[in-house]
Structure 1
Amino acid sequence: MNIQTSSKFDGPGLDHLAPIGRETVQDRIYRQLRDALIQGRFDAGEIFLAGDVAQRMSVSSMPVREALARLVSERALEAMANRRVRVPLLTLERARDIAQARTLIEAELAARALANLTHADIERLEVLTAEYEDTSKAQDVATLNHAFHFKLYEAAGSPVFMPIVESLWMQAGPYVRAAAKLHSPLTDTAATLHHRGILAAIKAGDREQVSAELTADISQSFAILERADPDFWVAENGAAS
C-alpha cells in the first residue's frame, strides 16, 4: 500500500492558529516583574495589588493581573485572598530545594555548554566578570551575574532546560536578597572567585571542573542562609508580611 505524504502543512489543525502579533503589554509587564524577581529586588512576603502595580507602571489593571497570574503559575509568586499576590515567605526547606534544583540543572547546562562556546563567547564572559568586579552597585552586580550565567547556559542549546532555569532564578531571588542582608557577597571581588574558576575550567576544557565551580558559585548565598540564626527567618518573614 502506498502512503502519500505532503510537504505542506495543510491539515485542519492550521485553522486553529492565528498570526503572531507584536509583544503585548502583558509581556512587557511580565518581563519587568520577572527580571526584578530574578535580580532579588523584592523581599519575601512583599504584597502586590494589581491596581497598585498598574498605577506604578502606567498601564491598565487587566494586563497586570494576567502577568501576575503567569508568575503565580510559575511559582515565583503566590496567590492570596482578596486578589492579592505576594512573594513567597522564606523557609530553610525551600531554600535547600531551590539550591539543589539549581545545582543539578545549571551544573549540567554549564558542562554541556563547554563544547559549544566560541572564542567570542569566552571573551564576553571575561568582560562580564571584569565589569562585575569593577562595580559596587548591588543592582548592577545582579544584572551582570545573571548575564554571565545565562550567556554560559545559552551555549548549551537546551530549549527544555532554559525555562526551568529562569523559573528557578525567580524563586531564588528573594533568598539571594535575604542572604545579602546577612553578608555582602555581591559587593566584593571574592564574589567572582568561582566565575574566574569557571572561566579557567572552560579554557582547560575540564567539564567536571566547570560543573564543580558552577555548583560552588550557586551555593554561596544558600550557605549563608544555612548558617543563619532561627530568629533571622522569623524576622525576615515577619517584617515582610
Structure 2
Amino acid sequence: MNDSQTDNVAVPGLGRVGRASLQQRVYEELTKSLIHGAFAAGQVLRMQAVADTLGVSIMPVREALGRLVTEGALEVMPNRSTRVPLITEARLDDLSRARCLIEGELVRLAAVQINAETVDLLRQQTQACEEAFVRLDAEHATETSVLNNDFHFTIYRAAGSEVLLPIVRSLWMQSGPFVRASAIIYGRNPSLTAVHHHWALIAALEARDAEAAVAALHADITQSFDLIRADMKRAQDD
C-alpha cells in the first residue's frame, strides 16, 4: 500500500466535526481522543487521514497538530510527520510524578469543599467504571478510560481552581498512551482493577480527610504506571 492510499484510511477514535469554530473543534476532538487513550504510543497521525476522518481541510488539522506538539502531547519526527510519543521509563516517571503533584493538590482542595451531590455522582461513576472493567477487552479499552476521566475530573472541577485544571488536562493528554497501555493490561488480567482506589478516594472525600484522599489518588495513579513498568520489564526479559 502506497502513501497516498494510507493517507485515505480512516483514523480510529475520531468522529466528524461541524464547521463552527473549526480550528478549535478539531483541536478538541484530537485532545479528547488523546485523553481517552484512543491513540497508541508511536502511532503516526497523518494530516490527510485525520482531515478526511474529521471531514475538514488540511489547514485546521495542521494547526491543531502543531498546537498539540507545543503542548507535549504529540511529537514531530525527523521526516516532519507527527506521532504519539513512545512509552519510555523516563516519561513514565516524569508523568507519574507530575500527576501526583498537581492532581494531589486538586484533591486536597476538593476535600475541603466537595458537597454530598458530587459525592453521590462519584459513586455512580465508580459503579459504572467497575461494571466496565468486567467487560474490558481491547475493543472496549476506551470505555474504561472515558469513565475514569469523568470520575477524576468531577473531583478536579469540585476543587474550584481555574489555574490547575488546564494543567491537569495537559497532563492527561500526555498520559493518553499510558492510559491505553494500562487498559490493555487490565483487559489481559481480569483480576486487576483500579476501582478500589476510587472507592477509597470517595470515602476520604466524604469524610473531608484530605490526606487520606491524596493517598488514595496517588495509589490510583501509581498502580497503573507500575503495571506498565512491569509489563515493559517482562517484554525486555523475553
1:159 and 2:136 equivalent?
no
1:106 and 2:103 equivalent?
yes
Task: Select the residue among 57, 63, 79 that pairs with 1:66.
Answer: 63
Q: Note the 1:147-226 alignment, pairs <5 A.
A: 147-184=150-187, 190-226=193-229
**Equivalent position of 1:35 in the other structure:** 32
The count of aligned residue pairs is 214
**What TM-score results when the alignment is normalised by the length of structure 2?**
0.83
Q: Could you tell me how far apart the structure 1 residues matched to 2:91 and 2:131 are?
A: 33
Deviations 1:131-190 (A, max 9, x none): 111222422211110000001001111111111111111111102222334443896683
**Equivalent position of 1:85 in the other structure:** 82
Query: Which residues of structure 1 form unaligned runs of 5+?
Result: 1-21, 236-241
Give the deviation of 1:222 after TM superposition.
Answer: 0.6
Q: Could you tell me how far apart the structure 1 residues matched to 2:130 and 2:194 are?
A: 8
The amino acid across from 2:161 in the alignment is S
Is the CA contact (8 Å cut-off) linking 1:109 and 1:156 kept in structure 2? yes
**What TM-score results when the alignment is normalised by the length of structure 1?**
0.82
Q: Could you tell me how far apart the structure 1 residues matched to 2:128 and 2:71 are?
A: 31
Deviations 1:95-117 (A, max 9, x none): 01000100011011001011221
Q: In structure 2, do the counterparts of structure 1 residues 81 and 52 end up closer, same or farther at CA, with 3 Å as the change threshold? A: farther
4+ runs deviating over 6 angstroms = 185-189
Q: What is the alpha-carbon root mean square deviation over aligned residues?
A: 2.3
